[in-house]
């Protein structure tokens, strides 16, 4: 880095995202004297209200189940750490990767995937709910920090990375940002990287949390080649190792294998295709950041195991059912009476309803519910819907 905090162009590969070639911000701003554009994006994400709330948003386990399980915040930090490592090794823009990784879950609902599923079901008559699109709404519209513009006014490249998936119907409303979904083009390498390291992080760290919670056992996980091989290697090299350290070292070795393959396979793809710049990356017929076929198969086998054995575990399902009740109940409550929401949100719902009818009202309610933390949603549900409701086990 230079003395002014900006990454010099000549330290990046030609196909990396460079600040000198950014597509810019929706609302033009003067450059900062010693911070680069993607660094400013990262800083704005970190200082956002939505980012702070991630500490009380579920990854898999609800907060009350223990202090050591991952939350959306710790997950985002772990994704960013892996992403920076890979970006640096490939000559990509490390600061852009970090900004995308830290922002990618800002639109997630309380109670993880259960909350997202419930809110999507509630919003079906009003266009549905997509958490990637919600993350974009957070940074484009919902954060209120600056006098000159709504949202965080992030660069195009960071916003491109946040929007991993998008329906064609919604893409048509996003202008240039939605074009790649309509034209079947790819995002830049930094966005591709953030997407895959997100999967790597939650795949491996859910193993750690599942074992810690007692929902998985080492014997069950040994049906997965990647786990069994690393577990046996660590155990055989360290005869007197404790279980906690053995699990940590196993997960660490699993991540290292997959990330090393990602670096090597992506480097080979870049050398073979030699994209001239980021636009060549976007128009490439294939994703250039990827795992080899053999490692992807091992990674996928672990993902499938977690889907069947952890995410569908009866204890997780029981909690998911309660989470569904909370999110659905709150949505119905606020749709019936927008004034049950704080004044600011009630006012937004009334304004949007006057412009677009029930669609606007529902979107304002969904924005409010999606922004809640687990514990705030639980408290609101007990206050407004069922004072005897308990989300705790038993």
- Residue 4: which pLDDT band, with cuts at 50, 70 and 90? very low
Q: What's the mean pLDDT in 369-394?
A: 89
- The DSSP call for residue 349 is H
Strand, coil or helix: what is 387? Answer: coil
Contacts of 172 (CB under 8 A, 6+ apart): 178, 182
Whole-angstrom Cα distance, residue 65 to residue 251?
Answer: 22
Q: CB pairs under 8 A, 24+ apart, for 337-343?
A: 338/364, 338/365, 340/384, 341/365, 341/368
pLDDT tens digits along 303-335: 999 999 998 888 888 888 999 999 999 999 999
Whole-angstrom Cα distance, residue 296 to residue 88?
Answer: 22
Counting residues of the chain whose pLDDT is more than 70, the rounded percentage is 94
Q: Which residue has the higher pLDDT, 209 or 385?
A: 385
- Residue 367: which pLDDT band, with cuts at 50, 70 and 90? very high
Per-residue confidence (pLDDT) for residue 3, from 0 to 100 = 44
Tokens matching residue 206: 């859910």
**pTM (two decimals):** 0.93
pLDDT tens digits along 191-200: 999 999 999 9
Q: For domain 9-314, give the CATH superfamily.
A: Hypothetical protein af1432 (1.10.3210.10)
Per-residue confidence (pLDDT) for residue 61, from 0 to 100 = 55
Whole-angstrom Cα distance, residue 187 to residue 282?
Answer: 5
pLDDT tens digits along 243-278: 999 999 999 999 999 999 999 999 999 999 999 999
pLDDT tens digits along 41-53: 999 999 999 999 9
The lowest-confidence range among 144-153, 207-216, 294-303, 349-358 is: 207-216
Contacts of 378 (CB under 8 A, 6+ apart): 326, 391
The domain spans of the chain are 9-314, 316-384
Q: Say if CB 254 and CB 295 are below 8 A apart.
A: no
Whole-angstrom Cα distance, residue 27 to residue 18?
Answer: 19
Whole-angstrom Cα distance, residue 314 to residue 333?
Answer: 28
The lowest-confidence range among 8-17, 22-31, 123-132, 141-150 is: 8-17
Whole-angstrom Cα distance, residue 84 to residue 165?
Answer: 22
Per-residue confidence (pLDDT) for residue 317, from 0 to 100 = 87
8 pLDDT more than 60: no
Q: How far is CA 93 from the centre of its chain?
A: 19
Whole-angstrom Cα distance, residue 357 to residue 144?
Answer: 24
Q: What's the mean pLDDT in 166-176?
A: 87
Whole-angstrom Cα distance, residue 288 to residue 329?
Answer: 43
139 pLDDT more than 70: yes
Per-residue confidence (pLDDT) for residue 319, from 0 to 100 = 85
Q: What's the mean pLDDT in 82-110?
A: 96
Per-residue confidence (pLDDT) for residue 10, from 0 to 100 = 46
In the block, tokens 């579920």 appear at 58
Q: Say if CB 2 and CB 8 are below 8 A apart.
A: yes
10 Å CB burial of residue 173 (0-12, 13-18, 19+) is: exposed
Beta bridge partner(s), residue 71: 58
10 Å CB burial of residue 214 (0-12, 13-18, 19+) is: exposed
71 pLDDT more than 50: yes
Per-residue confidence (pLDDT) for residue 311, from 0 to 100 = 87
Q: What's the mean pLDDT in 348-374?
A: 97
Q: Which residue has the higher pLDDT, 169 or 146?
A: 146
Strand, coil or helix: what is 157? Answer: helix
2 pLDDT more than 60: no
- The DSSP call for residue 290 is -
DSSP for 14-77 reads TTS--GGG---BSS--PPPSS--HHHHHHHHHHTSHHHHHGGGSBSSS-GGG-SSS-BHHHHHH
10 Å CB burial of residue 58 (0-12, 13-18, 19+) is: buried
Q: What is the mean pLDDT of the chain?
A: 92
Per-residue confidence (pLDDT) for residue 11, from 0 to 100 = 77
Region of 217 please: left (phi>0), alpha (psi -120 to 50) or beta. beta
Q: What's the mean pLDDT in 84-113?
A: 95
Counting residues of the chain whose pLDDT is more than 90, the rounded percentage is 81
Whole-angstrom Cα distance, residue 23 to residue 157?
Answer: 7
Whole-angstrom Cα distance, residue 161 to residue 121?
Answer: 26
């Amino acid at each position: 880095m230079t003395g002014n905090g900006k990454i010099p162009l000549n330290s990046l590969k030609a196909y990396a995202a460079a600040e000198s070639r950014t597509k810019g911000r929706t609302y033009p701003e003067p450059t900062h004297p010693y911070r680069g554009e993607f660094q400013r994006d990262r800083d704005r994400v970190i200082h956002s209200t939505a980012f702070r709330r991630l500490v009380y948003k579920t990854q898999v386990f609800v907060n009350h189940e223990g202090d050591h399980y991952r939350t959306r915040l710790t997950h985002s930090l772990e994704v960013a750490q892996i992403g920076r490592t890979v970006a640096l090794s490939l000559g990509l823009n490390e600061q852009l990767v970090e900004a995308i990784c830290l922002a990618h879950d800002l639109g997630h609902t309380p109670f993880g995937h259960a909350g997202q599923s419930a809110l999507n079901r509630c919003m079906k008559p009003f266009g549905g709910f997509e958490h990637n699109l919600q993350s974009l709404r957070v940074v484009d519209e919902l954060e209120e920090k600056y006098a000159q513009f709504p949202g965080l006014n992030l660069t195009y490249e960071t916003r491109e990375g946040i929007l991993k998936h998008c329906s064609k119907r919604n893409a048509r409303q996003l202008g240039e940002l939605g074009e790649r979904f309509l034209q079947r083009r790819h995002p830049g390498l930094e966005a591709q990287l953030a997407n895959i390291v997100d999967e790597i992080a939650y795949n491996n760290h859910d193993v750690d949390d599942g074992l810690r919670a007692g929902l998985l056992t080492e014997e069950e996980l040994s049906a997965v080649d990647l786990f069994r091989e690393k577990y046996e290697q660590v155990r055989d090299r360290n005869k007197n190792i404790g279980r906690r350290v053995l699990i940590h070292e196993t997960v660490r070795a699993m991540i290292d294998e997959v990330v090393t393959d990602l670096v090597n396979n992506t480097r080979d793809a870049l050398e073979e295709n030699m994209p001239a710049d980021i636009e060549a990356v976007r128009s490439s017929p294939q994703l250039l950041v990827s795992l080899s076929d053999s490692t992807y198969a091992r990674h996928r086998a672990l993902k499938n195991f977690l889907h069947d054995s952890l995410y569908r575990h009866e204890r997780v399902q029981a909690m998911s059912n309660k989470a569904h009740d909370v999110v659905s109940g709150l949505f119905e409550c606020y749709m019936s009476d927008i004034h049950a929401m704080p004044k600011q949100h009630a006012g937004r719902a009334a304004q949007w309803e006057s412009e677009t009818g029930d669609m606007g009202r529902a979107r304002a309610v969904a924005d409010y519910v999606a922004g809640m933390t687990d514990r705030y949603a639980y408290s609101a549900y007990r206050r407004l819907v069922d004072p005897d409701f308990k989300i705790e086990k038993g």
